[in-house]
Amino acid sequence: MSASIPTKMQAAVLHGINDLRVQEFPVPEPGPLEVLLKIHAVAICGTDPTVISKGWTGMPPYGTFIPGHEYSGEVVALGPAVSQFKVGDRVAIETHKGCGHCMNCKRGKYTICLNYGKPETGHRHYGFTTNGGYAQYAVNHISTLYKIPDNVSYDEAALVTTAACAHFALDNIGGLMGGETVAVLGPGPIGLMAVQLVKALGAHKVILTGTRDDRLEVGKKIGADVTVNIYNQDPVKVVKEETGGLGVDLVVECSGSSKAVAEAIEMAARGGRLSLVGDPHDLTTINLRRFVLDDMRAAGVRGEGNGDCARSLALFSEGKIQGKPLITHHFPLEKINEGIETFVQRKGGAIKVIIQPNQ
């Protein structure tokens, strides 16, 4: 590698449950079809505290593993056989690289690769089963890289998977038609991206539900037509009132609350569609009879597939979706544990917290 690239870097290494330490670590070397990135921004995602506090299936051993999967940076070295990228390219990454040869990868469904967590097959899940971006440098396969348009910042590009997850969720349910009505449940980062995305795609009325007034207020600023604090109002009732008693054409469930999943069925119109993005941690009872007899459709989503990061970056570039209103805090790498605490406890109205490892 070039003389300008150090052999050691600072990285946040997971040493055990809730034991993330910033320390010296070898700079990784890119293999065939890989590049070395100098990381300029890495966003803390809702799954990161889970990885740190519980571990993850297929995770590398404690003491060797660097979490972090929402990052952007600059290509500083190329492994063998890389021709589509050059040193100096500004890139955002997606987290999943399928093995490329299992039946799901053959079908293009690389986020549900059947060889998940088996690096020997070529599968990678950066920040989960492969080292990620809580570091000054990371190695990524070129299939996970997306060039950042000139007018999009590294900060915003670090949020590309948040936007692309909302994009992919819409793909999985068959998209959205202009003029349709939409309810987005949960004003977390993905929900707030979903609001912007459905507006950009021509949704007629977007109703955002949640429990925090400050986040609902952000939702209103970036395009929600109606906001509902579910502590004060019955969200199903409001959705029915706002849609002439019919219910919405599409519900995008981003809260991960099992109660919200049950309510999603009640607030969808007959023939409506449900896009289930939130990761529900408990079981729920749903009105399956209504789902069946009212001819509904539902789809889940795993990560950001379909190359949707490219489409998300295009919309960032056009200003049709924005990351900036979601970015509330910045921390240097040495204060990453403070950054994670700020994010988890939502200190100071934290929504998206960005770590800058090379600041």
Token reading at 83: 């021709």
Q: Residue 98, interface with Zn ion (CB under 5 A)?
A: yes
DSSP secondary structure of 96-134 = EE--SSSHHHHTT-GGG-TTTT-GGGT-EEBTTTB--SS
Stretch 171-210: interaction string toward Zn ion, x if CB under 5 A: ----------------------------------------
Q: CB 64 → Zn ion: shortest distance, Å?
A: 21
Count the neighbouring beta carbons within 10 Å of the beta carbon of residue 156.
Answer: 26
Q: Count CB neighbours of 109 within 10 A.
A: 17
Torsion of CA 299, 276, 321, 87, to 10 degrees: -70
Task: Return the residues of window 318-337 that contact Zn ion according to CB under 5 A.
Answer: none
> For Zn ion, which residue of 36, 41, 91, 99 counts as binding (CB under 5 A)?
99
Question: How many residues make contact with Zn ion (CB under 5 A)?
Answer: 8
Reduced to 3 states (helix: H, G, I; strand: E, B; else coil), residue 237 is helix
CA distance 59 to 162: 22
Residue number, 139 or 190, with CB nearest to Zn ion: 190
Contact window for Zn ion (CB under 5 A) among 114-122, 200-208, 328-336, 349-357 = 114-122
- Interface with Zn ion (CB under 5 A), residue from 113, 160, 197, 239: 113
Per CB under 5 A, 261 contacts Zn ion: no
**Distance in Å, CB of 304 to Zn ion, minimum:** 8
DSSP, collapsed to helix, strand or coil, labels residue 260 as helix
Q: Which of 51, 91, 93, 102 binds Zn ion (CB under 5 A)?
A: 102
Which range binds Zn ion by CB under 5 A, 102-110, 166-174, 283-291, 332-340? 102-110
Token representation of residue 204: 């007629």
Q: Tell me the closest approach of the beta carbon of residue 57 to Zn ion, in angstroms.
A: 16
Minimum separation from the CB atom of position 232 to Zn ion (A): 30
Shortest distance, CB of residue 323 to Zn ion, whole angstroms? 13
Q: Are 135 and 67 in contact (CB under 8 A)?
A: no
Give the DSSP H or E segment for 309: helix 308-318
Residue nearest to Zn ion as judged by C-beta position: 45
Q: Which is nearer to Zn ion, 30 or 98 (CB)?
A: 98
Q: CB nearer to Zn ion: give 143 or 358.
A: 143
Residue 286 Cβ, how far from Zn ion at the closest point, in Å? 26
Instruction: Quote the CA–CA distance of 321 and 327 in Å, as a whole number.
Output: 13
- CB 117, min distance to Zn ion, A: 11
Residue 52 makes contact with Zn ion by CB under 5 A: no
Taking CB under 5 A as the criterion, which residues in 10-49 touch Zn ion?
Answer: 45
**Per rule CB under 5 A, is residue 160 in the interface with Zn ion?**
no
Residue 235 and residue 219: Cα distance in Å, rounded? Answer: 16
Give the other-Cβ count within 10 Å of 293's Cβ: 10
DSSP structural state of residue 63 = T
**Which residues on neighbouring strands pair with residue 147, listed in sequence order?**
91
105 touching Zn ion, by CB under 5 A: yes
The stretch near Zn ion (CB under 5 A) out of 25-33, 65-73, 231-239, 287-295 is 65-73
* Nearest distance, CB of residue 101 and Zn ion, angstroms: 6
Q: In whole angstroms, give the CA distance from residue 146 to residue 304.
A: 13
Q: Which helix (H) or strand (E) holds 171?
A: helix 160-172
User: DSSP secondary-structure letter at 302?
Assistant: -
Q: Nearest distance from residue 105's CB to Zn ion, in Å?
A: 3
Query: Quick one: residue 68, left, alpha or beta (phi over 0 = left, psi -120 to 50 = alpha)?
Result: left
Judged by CB under 5 A, which stretch of 78-86, 103-111, 307-315, 323-331 contacts Zn ion? 103-111
Nearer to Zn ion by Cβ, of 115 and 153: the residue is 115
Sites of contact with Zn ion (CB under 5 A) = 45, 70, 98-99, 102, 105, 113, 115
